Chain A
Amino acid sequence: MNILLVAEHDNAELKVDTLKAASAAHKIGGELHILVAGAGCGQVAEQAQKVSGATKVLVADAPAFEHGLAENLAELINTVAGDYSHILAPATTTGKNYMPRLAALLDVEQISDIISVESSDTFKRPIYAGNAIATVQSEYAKKVITVRSAAFDKVELDGTAELVTLDFTNDAGISSFVKQELTESERPELTAASVVISGGRGMQNGENFKLLEGIADKLGAAIGASRAAVDAGFVPNDMQVGQTGKIVAPDLYIAVGISGAIQHLAGMKDSKVIVAINKDPEAPIFQVADYGLEADLFEVLPELEGAL
């Protein structure tokens, strides 16, 4: 059994999602190869060589792969897919974009967003917004899988994989990159942060999210939001934690003014310690919180910032 893991990166840095997906690959068993597709991504390939247990790093370095366009990536992976029994990618917005396209090219049904490996053909994944966990088994010779990073621990960087350069550089020519507007932040990324503080509809407006910033700075935390806060237009969608947003599992998750809809819980309930601050004692978030504080957030947030 050979497993191909497609690396998540930004052409400069290998993302931690790759290291977490690698641990899912090790649970499946077999030889692990990592594919780094990008442009000017040599540094990422070097980092990928250190991924624990990986024996080969395949590098496709060409302009066609610079921005992760699904049309080009799916074609590229399809050219090397023959050698593998399993093809994995982290279930990031990039992985979710090209993997199903690849799966259809291979005439295989994909298994999305796995949270555990039961055997080499059987996996668990959440369905119905996390209200149920399905155990599914694939009859296909080739398994195409996306991995929910938050459900796996990252592997170490102690490997010495061999570097192999791929000469496929084809641009499908049907799509092109126009621009990107990435949220500038000094803070850690939501999915990589060890502490996350999120605001919900209780924050009342976007301006009040500033109350979370001081606390986030003191804790080195990322700032997230519930879907209700995003829907209400308080903050952008890339801050959304939940089944339809980002899935996080930090050491400490602080939910402020969030009622705890299942949609949101599905995105954070694997956090090690959960703190909930809400003035409604009946809020469902208290049922999953390790520490609950029934209070007016506008009173306690400044106090909390001062106490840290």
Chain B
Amino acid sequence: MKILVPVKRVIDYNVKARVKADNSNVDLTNVKMAMNPFCEIAVEEAVRLKEKGTASEIIVVSIGDKACQEQLRTALALGADRAIQIDTDQNLGSLQVAKLLQKVVEEESPELVILGKQSIDSDNNQTAQMLGALTGMPQGTFASEVNMAEGKVEVTREVDGGLQTVALNLPAIVSTDLRLNEPRYASLPNIMKAKRKPLEVKPAADLGVELTSKINLIKVEEPSQRDGGVMVESVQELVEKLKNEAKVIS
């Protein structure tokens, strides 16, 4: 079984994003970048399926300029077999990304596509579902467990009230939530080996997809700050203030 794992290069999750002084966007100059944490979980899940003998080949794909090859190499070091970079320096929305991925799906015919549920920059949480619509594949979003069954995949999903399990016909799409697995670290020998694994570059412009987003970014601001409050000395004082000052308990 072939698994396709799209991954995204984003700001490192330990770095606090700062808004540019002209409010045009977030300032990413000289900021540490990394693979989106939910994408790491997706790569890990694919690698585990390969280790179990369920998957035969893992292809990772990333859309962006040359810099995203760094994340593709990371994925190769973690256990992916080959990588595709869809080369573009345009700022894409989730729909454009999903359309480019649709082209990759058409060419590679994977039985499973595993994606992160959202990227920690745009926080859209859309690409997996959109790819589902475009390819006609069913989707198991926000997965905390993935089990292959006869011609199907069973996905346990993190939903508001608890967990929901769905069965999907293959080929299918899975988007990962936090508890699906704990990603491994790449070992040094594997990092070295990854440098020799195949990485193909395809210009996005050759794929026949309209790349211009029709959602315009008007401005980006710092969130409104809450004014700090007061420190209280004791539980008694706290309860007194909640009752008489804030009036939120009686």
Contact = CB atoms under 8 A, between A and B. Distances in A.
Partners in one complex: yes
Interface of A: 10, 67, 69-71, 74, 92-94, 96-105, 107-113, 122, 125-140, 172-183, 189, 191, 195, 219, 227, 230-231, 236-238, 243-244, 246, 251-252, 262, 269, 272-275, 286-295, 300, 303-304, 307-308
B85 interface: no
Contact of B154 (A102, A178, A294): A178
A178 B154 CA distance: 8
A93 B158 contact: yes
Nearest to A272: B248
Interface string B156-183: 0111111111111100000001110000
B121 interface: yes
Contacts of A274: 226, 229
Contacts of B179: 230, 237
29 contacts: A97-B129, A97-B139, A99-B129, A100-B124, A100-B125, A100-B130, A104-B134, A111-B215, A128-B11, A132-B26, A132-B222, A134-B219, A135-B218, A136-B216, A138-B215, A138-B216, A175-B167, A177-B164, A177-B165, A181-B162, A237-B158, A275-B242, A288-B226, A289-B229, A292-B229, A293-B231, A293-B234, A300-B235, A307-B236
Contacts, number: 258
Given A131-B16, A180-B165, A137 B130 contact: no
B223 A291 contact: no
A108 B213 CA distance: 10
Contacts of B177: 237
Nearest to A243: B123
Given A101-B133, A127-B121, A195 B95 contact: no
B220 interface: yes
Given A103-B126, A132-B221, A291 B215 contact: no
A122 B219 CA distance: 11
Contacts of A130: 223
Contact of B242 (A99, A112, A236, A291): A291
A134 B158 CA distance: 27
Contact of B17 (A104, A107, A132, A238): A132
A221 to B, nearest CB: 10
B12 to A, nearest CB: 12
A129 B223 contact: no
Contact of B178 (A96, A97, A131, A244): A244
Interface string B198-237: 0000000000000001111111111100101111101110
Given A174-B137, A183-B162, A98 B129 contact: yes
Main secondary structure on B side of the interface with A: mixed
A44 to B, nearest CB: 16
Contact of B249 (A178, A189, A219, A227): A219
A101 B128 CA distance: 8
Nearest to B157: A93
A104 B209 CA distance: 14
Interface in B85-144: 93-96, 98, 118, 120-134, 136-142, 144
B92 to A, nearest CB: 10
A252 B16 CA distance: 27
Contacts of B228: 286-289
B192 interface: no
Report the 3 A-B pairs with minimum CB-CB distance, sorted nearest first.
Answer: A290-B229, A100-B129, A104-B133
A114 B13 CA distance: 22
A103 B165 contact: no
Given A273-B242, A308-B239, A104 B95 contact: yes
A291 B226 CA distance: 12
A179 B159 CA distance: 12
A231 B223 CA distance: 26
A209 to B, nearest CB: 16
A71 B178 contact: no
Contacts of A122: 218
Contacts of A105: 133
Nearest to A231: B178
Contact of B238 (A173, A175, A181, A291): A291
